[in-house]
Amino acid sequence: MKTALLVALVGVNLALALALVVTQNPTADAQVLRGGTDYIVQTALLGTEWDAVWVIDLRTRRLVVWKFDKTKKELVPMRGRRLIDDFGRKPSEF
């Protein structure tokens, strides 16, 4: 009886540990509107060693992307874009 209970508990613990390893963490979203800052922030997974942070400044209509190297624990700037150039309309034209 004790052996069967011990095997069952070990099996449950292994299943829970496997579930923790296999499940993905959700991306983080942040949005602040009409406050001191007007930004939209989105994270993304770029591979096994890289994460990304996308930041849109709603006031200046700029997009900036940073990569985070998980192995070096370093934030690396990728590039930025002016969204008005890409979409061709200013906010007053909506």
Q: Is residue 7 part of a domain?
A: no
Average pLDDT over residues 66-91: 82
Report the number of distinct structural domains present in the chain. 1
Residue 54 CA to residue 41 CA, distance in Å, equals: 6
Q: Are 73 and 84 in contact (CB under 8 A)?
A: no
Secondary structure (H, E, C), 7-52: HHHHHHHHHHHHHHHHCCCCCCEEEECCCCCCEEEEEEECCCCEEE
10 part of a folded domain: no
pLDDT of 14 higher than 80: yes
> What's residue 73's pLDDT?
86
Quote the pLDDT of residue 22: 73
Looking at residue 73, the DSSP 8-state letter turns out to be T
| Domain with 86 in it | 26-93
Residue 9's contacts (CB-CB under 8 Å, 6 or more residues apart) are: none
Whether residue 94 is predicted with pLDDT greater than 60 in this model: the reply is no
| Residue 15: per-residue pLDDT | 84
Residue 85 lies in a domain: yes
Indicate if the pLDDT at residue 29 is higher than 70.
no
3-class DSSP state of 71: coil
Q: What percent of the chain has pLDDT over 70?
A: 78
Residue 1 forms part of a structural domain: no
Classify the C-alpha dihedral 55-60-62-68 as positive or negative: negative
Residue 43 has what pLDDT?
Answer: 86
41-55: pLDDT as tens digits: 888 888 777 888 888
